[in-house]
Structure 1
Amino acid sequence: MRIRRFTAILALGVAAVGLSACAEQINTTVSRYQAMPAAQGQTFFVVPGGGMANNGGLEFQRYAGIVAQQLQARGFQPATSSQSANMIVQFGYGVDRGQVRYVEDPFYRSRFGYGFGGFGGWGSPFHRSRFGWGGGYSWGWDDPFWYGGGVDSYVEYHSQIDVHIRAAGTNAALFDGRVQARSETSRLDVVIPSLVEAMFTGFPGRNGEVVKITIPTRPPARS
């Protein structure tokens, strides 16, 4: 029993270190297609472009302001309205409700010589693909904690932002970008600024590129 308790404590300690590391940075996948003109003071206006952004209000204004700052830092100028802008920037963002993930402690496997996939070759009933699983076991026989430790759980959230830039008047496509990330927080004030920074790292990028960018998180801004 002491060994089991020690293993459970060790597993939780390792998990805590992992959570701490993930809280300090976000790994993103950035996709960009662009035909952007050279910055010569063209004006832009940011509008909702899907997801949570369609709710509008102060939340959208806050994150749209971060997008505007990034564009302004690259030589473009904010317009006072969409009618007076040379470019319309459609900005959308969102985060899902999260999925519980289970991680088997390798120390537990090596210590006791078995894992949860070792009973009759069935495989783990609760370790499935992100896109095809959800609560694949019932409490009781398949409860991973019934074995006395060795499995840790956490909630994984998927977040995304989209930025589409169109020429005002003609609606010609100038830029299409998407950033996706996984994190262990669903706080928009932590995730969205990091995704925006990833989007504009090396902006506008090469047409058709898909790159991995790691962005350090920052403390949430005080209201």
Structure 2
Amino acid sequence: MMEWINRWFGPMRSLFLLVGALALAGCASTLSARVTTFEQWPSGVEGQTWQFAPGEGNGLEVQAYQDMVRAAIGATGLVEAQNAPGRFVVALDYGSESQPRTVRQAVPDPFFYGGFYGPRYWGWGYGPWGYGPDWVPVEVIAQRNHLTVSIRDRSHADQEVYRSTAVIWSQDEALASVMPYMVSAVFDGFPGNNGQVRTIEYREPR
């Protein structure tokens, strides 16, 4: 009897573990950006000039992030000022901090690893089909990467006319690698989405 069980469950267990691993790999290839935007964007400003706020810094990291923002703003129809102050002033605020966060984590089903009962997301006992990975809430220390872009209009008493913040969580310090996604998220649908909080999904290249 035990020999028959081992013969049947051995390959099945390997199959379920493979499916679970592929599912986890698929999830890991997607980035979610949480974006909050507020705007009172003036009309008819195509071709108007802009500049970065003084004091943004001139280090290599700052320059790299500014280049990303510069490319995104160029697609809006604004033109970077060269020899005179721009009408719009663009300020960046970004960073990455370690914070506790509750995530769902896959755990092996005791059906295969000894014991038939244990805590589940849906109660006690087997999973919904009696096999496969279960998902339980686990508190981890994660990195909260964030970028805020603020744009002020000099011609209207330096009034803020656009503010958008993107947040992406990562497992480790990855500010430089997620910055392109945050810049894209901040300018997604520019200059619309006033007062909205949205989630934008990005596919990471393999």
Q: Could you say whether these structures have the same fold, taking a TM-score greater than 0.5 normalized by the shorter chain as the test?
A: yes
Q: CA RMSD in A?
A: 3.7
Quote the sequence identity (%): 24
1:184 and 2:186 are equivalent in the alignment: no
Q: Distance in 1 between matches of 2:20 and 2:52?
A: 43
Q: Distance in 2 between matches of 1:192 and 1:48?
A: 21
1:60 corresponds to: 62
Cα gap change, 1:176 to 1:76, in 2 (>3 Å):
same
Aligned-pair distance for 1:41?
1.1
| Correspondence for 2:35 among 15, 27, 30 | 30
| Correspondence for 1:162 among 148, 153, 156 | 148
Spell out the pairing of 1:1-223 with structure 2 (5 A cutoff).
14=20, 18-19=24-25, 21-23=27-29, 25-38=30-43, 39-47=45-53, 57-80=59-82, 84-97=85-98, 99=100, 103-105=105-107, 107-111=108-112, 112-115=115-118, 156-168=142-154, 170-217=157-204
Rg larger for: 2
- Residue deviations 1:78-135, cap 9 Å, x none? 1237x61111111111122365867351x42444323368xxxxxxxx956xxxx67x
CA contact (8 A) 1:48 1:92 kept: no
Q: Name stretches of at least 5 consecutive residues in structure 1 with no aligned partner.
A: 118-125, 135-154
CA contact (8 A) 1:48 1:56 kept: no
Amino acid at match of 2:86: A
Q: What secondary structure is seen at the aligned counterpart in 2 of 1:96?
A: strand
Q: Name stretches of at least 5 consecutive residues in structure 2 with no aligned partner.
A: 1-5, 121-135
TM-score normalised per structure 1: 0.64
CA contact (8 A) 1:48 1:60 kept: no
Q: What secondary structure is seen at the aligned counterpart in 1 of 2:53?
A: strand
TM-score normalised per structure 2: 0.68
Range with bigger deviation, 37-46 or 10-19: 10-19
Cα gap change, 1:12 to 1:178, in 2 (>3 Å):
farther
